């Protein structure tokens, strides 16, 4: 009897062990909590611009070549207790200006830091700096005085003066004209009489070096200017004589800079076509034995319009067409001046370091629906290898 009882007890223990092990194997895996999905109808986002396909490999400039707030590292000024002395600290802070409007184009004021989110390459970044104060800015008035704008020169002068009248006393203006060459009529100044005189001195010359003028303004002048800056470009967009820069290279310059560009587009096609616009050139004029001059063909004007659109998109600016702007040029200039003064400034330290020359995509979100957000949509990571 005793051996039988022992066998029963052994069998019972064996079954219990097997059952316990089996129970561990079939332990249920907890169901993961689904990720929260944001309702897109509750916020507004900036939109990415369409990228050009460069015809050559991009060339990236170094940290001391004018890439102030949109590349790393950046130099910021910090008071150290002595009003006459400033300490410069090297940081990786990325700052971008942001404009927010309603669907009717009216500026949206009084937004707070908590209303904004910023994403780099799809990953949300912690906002380290947020500013809304109105600060002085520097504007380059870049005036096309080539033969193609002859019919618009008086209007361009008046428009440029009207724009200056919208600025505040502390804002600085640089006046540059271009035909076949680029001429600085006045360096950056807030002396209104000097600015008006420089605008009136703008006069015609031969050729149109638009690309050279944009390159010069960004690389040779605004790269040396601290703070907020922009170019207001009066032109029909047609280039005929540039030799130092091109379509693709200046768009890359614009993207690498931290300057906004606001083209004021004048369509001079019909005036130039009616004036003749025919000379010895390698471009045939349809239906005749003559050849149509470069810069007078429909495709030249189409390319010019596209160029101005891309300049504005790549910097966070916008194109104004005087004949299509409600309220005319005065209203357009009021809008540009207000936008420059009242932009929100957002800064962050990238959570992931990029490679020198790498493009980082940026998206700005405002936690309010049905708004239009304008800002640059990328920046180029700085390089320590500074080209000469």
Domain residue ranges of the chain, discontinuous segments joined by +: 42-133+342-380, 137-341
Residue ranges of the alpha helices (H) in the chain? Answer: 2-25, 153-165, 192-201, 210-216, 247-256, 269-274, 298-315, 328-342
Structure tokens at 163: 């724009």
pLDDT of res. 88: 33
State the CATH class of domain 137-341: alpha beta
Structure tokens at 293: 């001059």
- CA distances 68 to 64, 101, 158, 224, 257, Å, are 8, 26, 32, 9, 7
The closest alpha carbon to 76, from 229, 221, 258, 227, belongs to 227
pLDDT of res. 379: 82
pLDDT of res. 33: 54
pLDDT of res. 12: 52
pLDDT of res. 152: 75
Average pLDDT along the chain, 388 residues, taken 10 residues at a time: 54 49 49 58 78 39 32 38 36 85 84 96 95 84 85 81 90 96 97 96 90 97 90 93 96 88 85 48 41 73 95 89 75 79 89 87 95 87 47
Structure tokens at 166: 């919208």
């Amino acid at each position: 009897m005793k051996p039988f009882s022992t066998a029963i007890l052994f069998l019972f223990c064996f079954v219990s062990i097997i059952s316990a092990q089996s129970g561990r194997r079939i332990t249920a895996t907890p169901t993961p909590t689904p990720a929260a999905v944001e309702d897109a109808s509750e916020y507004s986002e900036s939109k990415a611009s369409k990228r050009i396909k460069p015809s050559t490999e991009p060339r990236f400039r170094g940290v001391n070549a004018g890439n102030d707030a949109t590349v790393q590292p950046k130099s910021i000024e910090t008071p150290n207790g002595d009003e006459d002395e400033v300490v410069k600290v090297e940081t990786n802070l990325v700052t971008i200006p942001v404009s927010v409007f309603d669907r009717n184009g009216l500026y949206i004021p009084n937004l707070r830091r908590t209303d904004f989110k910023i994403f780099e390459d799809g990953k949300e970044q912690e906002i380290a700096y947020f500013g809304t104060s109105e600060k002085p800015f520097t504007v380059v008035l870049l005036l096309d005085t080539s033969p193609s704008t002859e019919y618009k020169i008086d209007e361009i002068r008046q428009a440029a003066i009207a724009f200056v009248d919208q600025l505040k006393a502390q804002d600085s203006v640089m006046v540059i004209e271009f035909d076949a060459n680029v001429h600085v009529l006045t360096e950056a100044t807030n002396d209104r009489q000097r600015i008006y005189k420089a605008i009136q001195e703008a006069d015609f010359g031969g050729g149109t070096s638009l690309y050279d003028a944009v390159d010069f303004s960004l690389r040779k002048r605004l790269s040396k200017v601290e703070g907020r800056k922009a170019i207001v470009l009066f032109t029909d967009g047609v280039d005929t004589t540039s030799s130092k820069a091109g379509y693709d290279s200046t768009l890359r310059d614009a993207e690498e800079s931290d300057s906004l560009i606001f083209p004021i587009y004048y369509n001079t096609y019909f005036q130039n076509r009616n004036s003749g616009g025919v000379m010895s050139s390698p471009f045939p004029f349809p239906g005749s034995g003559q050849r149509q001059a470069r810069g007078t063909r429909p495709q030249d004007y189409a390319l010019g319009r596209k160029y101005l659109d891309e300049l504005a998109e790549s910097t966070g600016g916008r194109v104004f067409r005087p004949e299509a702007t409600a309220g005319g040029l005065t209203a357009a200039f009021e809008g540009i001046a207000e936008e420059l003064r009242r932009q929100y400034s957002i800064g962050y330290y990238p959570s992931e370091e990029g490679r020198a020359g790498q493009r980082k995509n940026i998206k700005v979100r405002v936690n309010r629906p049905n708004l239009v957000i304008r800002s640059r949509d990328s920046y180029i990571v700085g390089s320590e290898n500074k080209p000469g």
